[in-house]
Chains A and B, each alone.
Chain A
């Protein structure tokens, strides 16, 4: 089954304790992206990757890191989480290419609480 998986689905942590949220897709997509969803703000892009070893900042990159060492995986790293990073996080992937008009496929989400 074609899908985007994220782990963990739920995480409660404390300020300053490094964490990683994993994302994996099995559709051989070039493009992957991380979003955070907050009430009244919709989805805002954190980082994205056009292909392996190519990553770039989205709208709200502060406090986050990513890596793209393999095509299927795109982990999100919070080196020193703070309470304002409490949010619902989504990973997404899609075909890239020159037209860039394709549908994005979303993971089920990771609900993060930073105390």
Chain B
């Protein structure tokens, strides 16, 4: 079945540091890939997505590229801010409407 594996957290960075959160997946067919973000006390919000191989999703300075050859969708940001502190979830959607989530990665950015 489908599965998503994220790098283990928590991740703690200083402001303006470079961020990478690794995500790899197993799925049949050609899934769509997503990154969701959960700020403290809130529900999940879509951060970015990619629907086919080599697509790059981007939003709010975050980027992720759909790599079919390595089955990966790593999240990156060149310069993190304190306001980026949140939990980040990688997810995939293959057939139908169901989402499969990774475990989530807690990011803390210190001033």
Contact = CB atoms under 8 A, between A and B. Distances in A.
A45 B98 contact: yes
A44 B100 CA distance: 8
Interface of B: 4, 32, 34, 36, 42-46, 49, 51, 89, 93, 95-99, 101-104
A50 interface: yes
A33 B34 CA distance: 17
Nearest to B99: A104
25 contacts: A33-B97, A33-B99, A40-B103, A42-B4, A42-B102, A43-B104, A44-B101, A45-B99, A48-B97, A48-B98, A50-B96, A50-B97, A90-B43, A94-B97, A96-B97, A100-B96, A100-B97, A101-B32, A101-B51, A103-B34, A103-B46, A103-B49, A104-B46, A104-B99, A108-B42
Contact of A109 (B42, B45, B103): B42
Contact of B104 (A42, A101, A107): A42
Chain A contact patch, size range: 20 to 34
A106 B45 contact: yes
Contacts, number: 56
A31 interface: yes
B32 to A, nearest CB: 5
A69 to B, nearest CB: 20
Contacts of A40: 103
A107 B97 contact: no
A2 interface: no
B12 to A, nearest CB: 17
Given A100-B97, A103-B49, 4 more contacts: A42-B104, A48-B97, A104-B99, A107-B43
Nearest to B103: A42
Contacts of A106: 36, 43-45
A26 to B, nearest CB: 15
A41 interface: yes
